[in-house]
Amino acid sequence: MEKPLLEKEEKYMETKKAKITRSDDKTILLLELDENLEIVVTEDNPNNIKTAFNKLIIELKKGLFEFELEDDKDDLYNNICSEYLNQLNSEMISVFEELEDYELLDLEEKVEKDDNEGEQEEEDDLL
């Protein structure tokens, strides 16, 4: 039986920030991660997108997350980046599910940390 679309994971999904940096010569969508990713939206550079997506896959192996745009200007770049992030977030869910299906996630570290916290709570309850 197929499980609902990441119902459990969405409940605990981390939200990361995305911002738009505008200048006279280019506009950048900045994805805030441990290593920030820059996607220049005013250039047609598929290699830049490919590099960014490869880094996103590495981050997805640690757990599912989504991006939320933090931008207060109502302009064309805001609209473009909002749509781009909607599509990217959908793609990341799909990629995460595939990583999960092929057992390629690096969640062991997170599970160990969660287990240790649970053991500490049990010890505290006994005291």
Q: pLDDT band at residue 119, thresholds of 50, 70 and 90?
A: low
Tens digits of residue pLDDT in 19-76? 999 999 999 999 999 999 999 999 999 999 999 999 999 999 999 999 999 999 999 9
Q: What sign does the CA torsion over 81, 84, 90, 93 have?
A: negative
3-state helix, strand, coil in the chain (%, to 5): 50, 20, 30
Q: Is the pLDDT of residue 8 over 70?
A: no
**Average pLDDT of the chain to the nearest whole number:** 86
pLDDT at 26: 97
Instruction: Return the minimum-mean-pLDDT range out of 20-34, 72-86, 103-117.
Output: 103-117
Q: Is the pLDDT of residue 110 over 90?
A: no
Q: What is the reported pTM?
A: 0.75
Q: Is the pLDDT of residue 92 over 60?
A: yes
Q: Is the pLDDT of residue 10 over 50?
A: no
